Amino acid sequence: MRQGARRLSNLRSTMSVSSASLTGLNHHIQSMRDVGALFFNRGWSVGTSSNYSVVVQQDPLQLLITASGKDKGHLATDDFVRVDGAGRPVDPEGPQSSAETMLHVVLARNTHAGSVLHTHSVWGTLLSDLYHADGGFHIEGYEMLKGLSGITTHQVNQWVEIFDNSQDIPALAEQVGRRLTDDVRPVRHGFLIRKHGLYTWGKDLDEARRHVEIFEFLFEVVARRLALTGAIPAGALDYS
2-237: CATH class: alpha beta
Beta bridge partners of 15: none
| pLDDT-derived band at 229, boundaries 50, 70, 90 | confident
Q: How far apart are CA 169 and CA 175, in angstroms?
A: 10
Q: What are the tens digits of pLDDT across the range 116-169?
A: 999 999 999 999 999 999 999 999 999 999 999 999 999 999 999 999 998 899
- The pTM for the full model equals 0.87
β pairing state of 157-163 and 80-84:
unpaired
What ranges do the domains of the chain cover? 2-237
Q: Identify which of 74, 114, 79, 78 has the alpha carbon closest to the alpha carbon of residue 210.
A: 114
Q: Is the pLDDT of residue 113 over 50?
A: yes
* Least confident piece of the model among 10-24, 71-85, 94-108, 129-143: 10-24
Binned at pLDDT 50, 70 and 90, residue 4 comes out as very low
